[in-house]
Homo-oligomer: A and B are copies of this chain.
Amino acid sequence: MKLCDIGNTNFSFDDGSKFSVENFDISSIDETVHYVSVNHYWEKRLDGEENWINLRSLINYESYYETMGIDRIMCCEAVDNALVIDAGSAITVDLIRDGNHEGGYIYPGFSAMQKTYKNISPALDVSLNFDIDLATMPKNTEDAISFGVIAPLISHIRTLADKLPILITGGDAEKLHNFLPSASVDKTLVFKGMKKITQGLQTC
């Protein structure tokens, strides 16, 4: 049995393999696949395929909210007490206490933030510097922007986490981890949540 997280770009499997959504061939997989999908086209396309089991119906939406991304929900399902950060095209920050989702927020991803500055003014079109020191106020444009992207988010995460463990997942997890050394990076969080949900399915 395989687990698959279908995004807007890739089919990502729990064995680490990835395939573009553009040319994925579902007939290449005979095994049962338990999947979640934020990709509406593929979720519809897979409906009715016998070996592709959508985990969406297993979610208790009372704990979350209707428009919350299912991949984000799976990451939350993976833990009982943690601040869960998924750093991708957006950065989601979710607070889980005693297995309950207390809420969460959405910050733009680093790549989106860089474009934002460029769109405000060509003078603000710089690369982000992930080596900045957050204890020193910046004195040049590149650092002033990098600090503006990173320092407010890190400050809030530290306050919010308090004594909770911080778990970071997603493509930009390492970049955030630089500034939160006590946090753990776990790129398989979505699959851990899916596995937990799927175990529920198997015992039904």
Q: Which residues from chain A sit less than 8 Å from chain B, CB to CB?
A: 65, 67-68, 89-90, 92-93, 95, 102-109, 112-113, 115-117, 119-121, 123-124, 136-141, 143-145, 147-149, 151-153, 155-156, 159
Bound CA span A119–B108, Å:
10
Q: How distant is A147 from chain B, measured CB to nearest CB, in Å? A: 4
Contact A119 B112 (CB under 8 A): yes
Contact A120 B108 (CB under 8 A): yes
A-B residue pairs, 9 tightest by C-beta? A103-B137, A152-B152, A155-B156, A152-B156, A105-B147, A105-B148, A107-B148, A116-B116, A106-B148
Contact A139 B107 (CB under 8 A): no
Bound CA span A22–B36, Å:
53
**What is the count of identical protomers in the complex?**
2
Bound CA span A18–B123, Å:
24
Known A-B contacts A65-B139, A152-B152; A144 and B89 likewise in contact (beta carbons under 8 Å): no
B residues in contact with A113, CB < 8 Å: 108, 116
Given A65-B140, A90-B117, 13 other A-B residues pairs in contact with their CB atoms under 8 A: A89-B120, A90-B121, A93-B148, A95-B137, A102-B137, A103-B137, A104-B137, A104-B144, A105-B147, A106-B117, A106-B124, A107-B149, A113-B116
Known A-B contacts A67-B140, A103-B136, A137-B103; A112 and B108 likewise in contact (beta carbons under 8 Å): no
Contact B108 A116 (CB under 8 A): yes
Bound CA span A113–B115, Å:
11
Contact B140 A107 (CB under 8 A): no
B residues in contact with A95, CB < 8 Å: 137
Bound CA span A93–B138, Å:
10
B residues in contact with A107, CB < 8 Å: 148-149, 152
B residues in contact with A148, CB < 8 Å: 93, 105-108
